[in-house]
Chain A
Amino acid sequence: MANSIDKKMGMSAKNRILSVIATAWFAILAIIIIFPVFAGLLASFRPGTELIRKGLSIDLDVRTMTLNNYIYLFSGNADSQKYFMWFKNSLFLTAVSVVGTLVVCYIVAYGLSMYEYPLKNFLFFLVIATMMVPFEILILPLYKEMITLKLIDTTAGVVLPGVCGASTVFFFRQYMIGLPKELLDAGRIDGATEYGICFKIMLPITKPAFAAMSILCAMGAWNNVLWPMLVYRNASKFTLPIGLNTLLTPYGNNYDVLIAGSMFGILPVFIVFLCFQRYFIEGMTAGAVKG
């Protein structure tokens, strides 16, 4: 079967060898890429003290592996409770940022793509301009602002500065520019208000853009560290990355939880990725081609 396809595509013997080499090359790359995570996964079945004493390396010896770290992680003791509190906080923060960001960015992009009005291009220029300043520069003044607004230690303080993310607005706008404007007029004739058209007619046909962006936003929120680390002061508010980071002490008394918790923390994103792979790549690369 494979042979007949090769023949159809006109693959010569030389090409077949090249094909094996090229495929093998990506296999090697894939192994290199998976390597650290695999090493971490193996290490999560060994006592955390070994990580301190030996560092991390691939060790395939099955006899020294136990499930103890995971049993400890799920045992319901103080460490386990702390870990799942971080996990819950991360889920909560992710849900709030995804819903907030998508709603806000959809509305803004709708206003920037569906109408013709004098300030339209200028406003879109401003959206692009915000991309020219790295967020890291704004952390000091924003941090001070959050203290003034009493938003320190609140989820609003973490989410609000990024809720109208320029790249998300940009993506929605690119998508919506391609939608038929006749739908708006049809809606108006049927007696729908401008807002009714936005939410009842256009929103359903923007679903693919929502799918791509929700996944990208969720991944960003789940993995975000720097800004949440500054805003969340109270240990009971810590998200998973912040919490795991607190375990990285020189004494390493918590490396059991650190390594098993890190591996378990990749799991949700990994599962979502396996289910929605197409949307990940779509959402991520949208800016690169058209921008």
Chain B
Amino acid sequence: MKIKKFLYSQKAAPYVFVIPFILSFLFFWVYPLCSTFIMSFQDIGPATSEWIGIKNYSKLLRDPTFRTAIANSFEYMLGTLILLIPFPMLFAVLMDSRLVKAKGFWKACLYLPALTSVVISGTLFRLMFSEYPTGQMNVITSALGLGTFKWLKMKATGLGALLVTACWRWTGVNMLYFLSGLKSIDTALYESAEIDGANSWQKFRYVTIPLIKPTTIYVLTISVYAGLAMFMESFMLWAGPASPNNIGLTIVGYLYNRGIQKNDLGYGSAIGLVLLVIALIINIIQLVANGTFKKEER
């Protein structure tokens, strides 16, 4: 009775409410993180596991396939940053202007790819990047007089195919992020800039860009993470985790190959932790560079 009374008190209630989070945090975040950290120092066999110190990591350093995976993930991430931040931002500014008619319809169209599963969009792009002359991309390039390509067999075109798929899926979503950022800008600022004689470019450069910085940082952060951790897109384009000369191999793809397919949980964990460290370092550099940790300047 006393316990019941305590649980119903105003003091205990908030702790009762957050119990699900604490359980989920411990079981599905702290525990797996610790366990993958420990596994990365082990050689894990079917029945027993043996402590091997930093051997997994020193093997990783000398592993050329891992270097390929890291290079691929970085190239893909940089590509998405170049393509999926400035352009969606410009589209959002344009969409936000009075010039565009039927906005709702265009927004809905641009959002369409986000509704499709990566399996479906990956399959469609895999078939469009077919090496036969009748595949859509080869139809386009031959119409332009560039001839046909074996898209998914060469490094440059393979990366291109991944980036095209990424742009198709995320341009609209990122544009909507920027649009919602633009909505929070006070229109009076543009008016006063106009009075000061600012032209469109100056308004964009000195009002829009600084004021949607929080949105830009958000999009940048999720793009860095999504880019570095990309796997399913490549998995679908090459119909599995293997690609010719590993042109489509990403860090998570390699983690999947080693950890799940070859059941080497120790080596796979080491790959995962390297990815985690890279992601955190980039994130911290980016946050410091953007002054998130600085005190508000007034």
The residues of A with any CB-CB pair to B shorter than 8 Å are: 9, 15, 18-19, 22-23, 25-27, 29-30, 32-34, 36-37, 39-40, 43, 51, 53-58, 104, 107-108, 110-112, 114-115, 117, 119-120, 123, 126-127, 130, 132-145, 160-161, 163-164, 169, 188, 193-195, 198, 219, 222-223, 225-226, 230, 240-242, 244-245, 248-250, 258, 262, 265-266, 269-270, 273, 277, 280-281, 284-285, 287-289, 291
Residue numbers in A under 8 Å from B109 (CB-CB): 29-30, 33-34
Does B154 sit within 8 A of A, measured CB to CB?
no
The listed residue with most B CB atoms (<10 A of its CB), out of A112, A114, A285, is A285
Q: Which of A26, A111, A135, A230 contacts B18 (CB 8 A)?
A: A111
Interface residue SS majority, chain B:
helix
Residue numbers in B under 8 Å from A15 (CB-CB): 99
**Is the beta-carbon distance between A136 and B101 smaller than 8 angstroms?**
no
Residue numbers in B under 8 Å from A262 (CB-CB): 119-120, 123-124
Residue numbers in B under 8 Å from A134 (CB-CB): 225, 228-229, 275-276, 279
Give the size range of B's interface with the partner. 35 or more
Does B48 sit within 8 A of A, measured CB to CB?
no
Residue numbers in A under 8 Å from B239 (CB-CB): 248-250
Measured between alpha carbons, how far is A288 from B88 in the docked complex, in Å? 14
Measured between alpha carbons, how far is A114 from B135 in the docked complex, in Å? 57
Beyond A140-B255, A266-B116, whether A288 also contacts B108 by CB under 8 A is no
Residue numbers in A under 8 Å from B102 (CB-CB): 23
Residue numbers in A under 8 Å from B124 (CB-CB): 36-37, 39-40, 56, 262
Measured between alpha carbons, how far is A24 from B214 in the docked complex, in Å? 30
Excluding A19-B100, A134-B279, A138-B36, 14 further A-B contacts by CB distance (< 8 Å) are A22-B97, A36-B124, A39-B128, A51-B127, A53-B132, A104-B20, A111-B16, A130-B29, A141-B39, A164-B20, A188-B10, A222-B117, A241-B120, A280-B111
Measured between alpha carbons, how far is A266 from B183 in the docked complex, in Å? 30
Please name the residue on chain A nearest to B31 by beta carbon: A145
**Is the beta-carbon distance between B180 and A25 smaller than 8 angstroms?**
no
Q: Can you list 22 A-B contacts (CB < 8 A)? A: A29-B91, A29-B109, A36-B128, A36-B168, A40-B120, A54-B130, A57-B128, A104-B21, A108-B17, A112-B21, A120-B14, A137-B36, A140-B259, A143-B259, A223-B118, A226-B231, A226-B232, A262-B123, A266-B115, A273-B111, A284-B114, A289-B180
Measured between alpha carbons, how far is A213 from B17 in the docked complex, in Å? 19
Q: Which of B95, B125, B219 contacts A36 (CB 8 A)?
A: B125
CB distance from A165 to the nearest CB of B (A): 9
Residue numbers in A under 8 Å from B95 (CB-CB): 26
Closest 6 CB pairs of A and B: A55-B130, A111-B17, A55-B135, A56-B127, A141-B32, A30-B109
**Is the beta-carbon distance between A145 and B32 smaller than 8 angstroms?**
yes
Does B283 sit within 8 A of A, measured CB to CB?
yes
CB distance from B125 to the nearest CB of A (A): 7
**Is the beta-carbon distance between B20 and A27 smaller than 8 angstroms?**
no
**Is the beta-carbon distance between A136 and B255 smaller than 8 angstroms?**
yes
Measured between alpha carbons, how far is A130 from B52 in the docked complex, in Å? 29
Beyond A284-B176, A289-B215, whether A137 also contacts B120 by CB under 8 A is no
Beyond A22-B100, A141-B39, A288-B215, whether A29 also contacts B110 by CB under 8 A is yes
Measured between alpha carbons, how far is A250 from B119 in the docked complex, in Å? 16
What 1/0 mask marks residues of chain B from 4 to 41 whose CB sits below 8 Å from any chain A CB?
00001111011111101110110111011101100100
Residue numbers in B under 8 Å from A141 (CB-CB): 31-33, 35-36, 39, 269
Measured between alpha carbons, how far is A169 from B131 in the docked complex, in Å? 45
Does B106 sit within 8 A of A, measured CB to CB?
yes
Beyond A57-B134, A222-B117, whether A284 also contacts B173 by CB under 8 A is yes
**Is the beta-carbon distance between B100 and A140 smaller than 8 angstroms?**
no
Measured between alpha carbons, how far is A33 from B164 in the docked complex, in Å? 11
Beyond A140-B259, A141-B35, A163-B24, whether A281 also contacts B268 by CB under 8 A is no
